[in-house]
Structure 1
Amino acid sequence: MSWLQLKARIAPDHAEILEHLLMEEGACAITLQDAEDQPLFEPDLGSTPLWSETVLTGLWDGTEGIEAMRERVKAGWAALIPDEPCPEIEVEILEDRDWAREWMDGFEPLKMGQRLWIVPSWHDAPEQDAVNLMLDPGLAFGTGTHPTTALCLEWLDGQQLEGCSVIDFGCGSGILAIAALLLGAPQAVGTDIDPQALEASRDNASRNGIDPARFPVYLPADMPQQQADVVVANILAGPLVALAAQITTLVRGGGRLALSGILAEQAEEVRAAYAEAFDLDPTAVKDGWVRISGVKR
């Protein structure tokens, strides 16, 4: 089966209108992409930013009536925005392929530090005697490919975790907590505001043979009041600053903290929020993102 794809470059304030028109035509998927490789920095709470120019793409499972569809979209646009010309709509026919296989082929095992490998579940581990974390990237929320996740994994790989309790604050896929457990921590606790993230954490823990009793996960409201020897939080700079008091209380005296999800230009603000309670290490940088770590006084 062939697929029909309609694509247009559009200003962000008009993207929702074109999306509506394509959905009215029965699009089975709509995607929004950056037209100019423009970075988006951390948005204000409750906002959904778009790039200054966006590529909006609609996908249909069939190729009938292409020109009629395009004309209806143009007419709908003219009725809604008579003073603005409809953006040029490109048409492309996509021949059917094994999309799942192509997507899977894009994920390869990744080495983090000296001992740890992140291995997609359909790959064999490159080093059977290494610490191999089997992960299903289809569950998203953190696959090890993003610099912030890699920074945290490399930090964990360099820690002595035997006998240490761990809290993964904003656990996502559970990748950081599971790595800590495989690297020697006897127990880790995960918390996340997204119930799907908790499910992903449970699934990935099971895939790695982790006893659920060693890795309980909670929504924030349900999380027990406890401290840990090691706390990792890979979220965003704004929440890290806003929640600094709460995150600080999770770390035992003499315990270790690692923070990421922070752009390089945000590092000083985050460091300042934790400097009073922690002896901070030099900031680690990777591809414009940073990790801030330290020991609680």
Structure 2
Amino acid sequence: MWLQLSIDCTENEPPLLELVFENLGALSVTLGDAGDQPLLETPPESTQLWQQTQVTALFEGDREPLKLRNALASVLDPELVGRLRWERIEDRIWERVWLDHFKPMSFGQRLWVCPAGDSVDQQNAVVIKLDPGLAFGTGTHPTTALCLEWLDAQDLSGKRIIDYGCGSGILAIAALKLGASSAVALDHDPQALIASRDNAEKNSVSDRLLTCLPDELPNGTFDLLVANILAAPLIQLAPDFARLIRPGGRFALSGILAEQQAEVAPAYQAFATLEAPKRQQEWLLLCGTASCQ
């Protein structure tokens, strides 16, 4: 058993709460959104927090909630302590808990993502076996879903594709299973490359996948490019993408909020024809074709 304490507070209060919880022997202290405020494209080395932040501390199960509350009351404002919540949490295999809620998901006409051990009852299904792991990207987020649906609608037979900012490698693996001849999965995070190689091995496509850091990218152009990152890097990378996509090649960009379309689109209209964006919730997918000139 574990004892979990949590307090909802303003964005200025978490540093003090973290210090107090740690001094009281907390095994971990985590911060989360207590409202509904997305934080996107936070500047490097910043400590930007939500306006309403939930601070959660985990203690050994034999700790007494009343004693911890009294200790907090001796150093914190009574109003803040009054927001304290606690619960007992039974120990369990946490990876399995996540998997119990992760079921097969379909994207487009034939593409599926499902955890190992599950199956899909569809005659022409293209199935990606993918369990939650070390890097982002299982298809549950709208930006990933938009990219997967786009890939499902493309003629990928014999094509060469690059997945820029690959995360788990799910997009590159999807392209390979849909018929692409080869794929490059690129990311600045070495952990993402490890996850991509591992997932490619599980899906029997590792012989056609190259993983690399940005400065290791081989020369040449690609028939398709997909990048599920964020608006600011997409704008910054537009000149690089213009060189990576062959004339007439296709591309799909996601991680773009609807209100950011006007910022991102001009960077690509300079060398490509854009199609009408596709939307899921507040997120957009911009796709287009590179100019043949």
Give the TM-score taking structure 2 as reference length: 0.92
C-alpha deviation, 1:143, in angstroms = 0.7
- Give the drift of 1:107: 0.7
* Aligned-partner Cα distance in 2 for 1:194–1:241: 20
Matched ranges for 1:106-255 at <5 A: 106-127=101-122, 129-212=124-207, 214-255=208-249
Per the alignment, in what secondary structure is the counterpart of residue 216 of structure 1? strand
Q: 1:276 aligns with which of 270, 275, 280?
A: 270
Given that 1:116 and 1:131 are in contact with CA atoms closer than 8 Å, whether structure 2 keeps it comes out as: yes
Query: How far apart, in 1, do the equivalents of 2:73 and 2:215 lie?
Result: 49
SS in 2 for 1:249: helix
1:262 matches 2:256:
yes
CA gap of 1:64–1:210, structure 2 versus 1, over 3 A, is same
Deviates more, 1:44-53 or 1:231-240: 44-53
Whichever residue aligns with residue 61 of structure 1, its letter is E
SS in structure 2 opposite 1:272? helix
Equivalent residue number for residue 99 of structure 2: 104
d(CA) in 2 for partners of 1:45, 1:139: 21
Shift of 1:85: 5.9
Which string of whole-angstrom CA distances, capped at 9 and with x for unpartnered residues, describes residues 9-51 of structure 1? 1111221221122122222232222222233343344434321
SS at match of 1:13: coil
Displacement of 1:61? 2.9
Distance of aligned partners of 1:22 and 1:184 in 2 relative to their CA distance in 1, 3 Å threshold: same
Shift of 1:274: 0.4
Shift of 1:146: 0.6
Residue 128 of structure 1 deviates from its aligned partner by: 5.9
Superposed CA offset, 1:151-173 (max 9, x none): 11111101111111000000000
Distance (Å, rounded) in 2 between the aligned partners of 1:94 and 1:9: 19
Cα deviations by residue, 1:211-245 (Å, 9 ceiling, x for unpaired): 34x11111112222321110000000010011111
Q: Distance in 2 between matches of 1:226 and 1:75?
A: 65
Residue 114 of structure 1 and its aligned partner are, at CA, apart by 0.7
CA apart distance, 1:252: 0.7
**One-letter amino acid of the counterpart of residue 18, structure 1:** L
Structure 1 residue 94: Cα displacement: 2.3
Q: What secondary structure is seen at the aligned counterpart in 1 of 2:285?
A: strand
Q: Check 1:55–1:39 CA distance in 2 against 1; reply closer, same or farther (3 A cut).
A: same
Give the equivalent residue in structure 2 for 1:81. Answer: none
Q: Which runs of no fewer than 5 residues in structure 1 stay unpaired?
A: 79-83
Q: Percent identity?
A: 48
CA distance in 2, matches of 1:75, 1:122: 52
CA RMSD of aligned residues (A): 1.9
Q: Contact 1:6–1:57 at 8 Å: present in 2 too?
A: yes
TM-score normalised to structure 1 length: 0.91
The offset of 1:119, in angstroms, is 0.9
Q: 1-side partners of 2:34 and 2:74: how far apart?
A: 25
Provide, for residues 154-206 of structure 1, a one-character-per-residue CA deviation record: whole Å limited to 9, x for no partner.
11101111111000000000000000000000100011011110011011001
Match for 1:198: what amino acid? L
The letter for the 1-side match of 2:12 is: D
- Pairs aligned (count): 290
Cα contact 1:63–1:93 (8 A) shared by 2: no
Letter in 2 for 1:293: C
Map of 1:95 onto structure 2 = 90
Structure 2: stretches of 5+ with no match in the other structure: none
Q: Deviations over 1:247-287 (max 9, x none)?
A: 22110111111100000000121111100100111111111
